[in-house]
Amino acid sequence: MRQIILDTETTGIDPRDGHRLIEIGAVEMVNRRLTGNTYHQYINPERSIDAEAVAVHGITDERVADEPLFADVADAFWAFIEGAELVIHNAPFDVGFIDHELGMLNQARGEPRLGPVAEHCRILDTLRLARDKHPGQRNNLDALCKRYEIDNGHRVLHGALLDAEILADVYLAMTGGQTALLLDASASGEEEGEAGASGGLNVRRLSLSPGTLRVQAPDDAEWQAHRDKLATIRDAGGECRWDGLNGWPGQEAP
């Protein structure tokens, strides 16, 4: 399955008040693996950016004054997301802005028409997912990073591409971790240090030669803790399925 983890930055809160997109960041994931393909674009919004918005993302009028208009990048952006499942934190906000931009573009251009997003892409809102999993708790991106032990120390201000990369880690952690972990990055064409998560922890891929992975046997204290745990299970349930596994240690010391 192809998924696009996406984030935007804007001039303000509501496109109905004339606010516009100023940055789009997105990363591609196929079968829960980051591919390394990204989309990142600053946009000239043709209007001023609210001071409150600048305080959040740090993007000023001067920064985007020489960037292309949305109309100039819309086709490339649409080609990147069309047909994918979009993974977005607080999806109604980002999708609302994208649809607003597409609507204005379609009105000016006529044909071919782009969007609306929901008619061409599935949408997964990770904020809604987080609220279902953690009701009554803070579920913004920073809070989720802390909950799932994802390093976001390099995130001082919001930025669309950085937030999309962090959200990819959060999404994988919330939904069970990465399904496949390659120890040899060069074999898959991926770069070392590519973002990923397994069980809420960032993954750094290592290149290991066959036979170099050392297996560490448990010490006496760890074996005793294992036996104590099995005894607790037997006392509570009357039996322990572990005892029936051939070749696995049960009550006896190694």
Tell me the catalytic residues: 158
How does 83-112 read in b/e, with b if 16+ C-beta sit within 10 Å?
ebebbbbbbebbbbbbbbbbeebbeeeeee
Distance (Å, whole) CA 218 – CA 57: 49
**What tokens appear for 187 in the block?**
């074999």
* Whole-number Cα distances in Å, 103 to 51, 84, 92, 184: 26, 20, 16, 45
Q: Is 201 exposed, middle or buried (0-12, 13-18, 19+ CB in 10 A)?
A: middle
Mode of pairing for the β-strands spanning 21-30 and 33-42: antiparallel
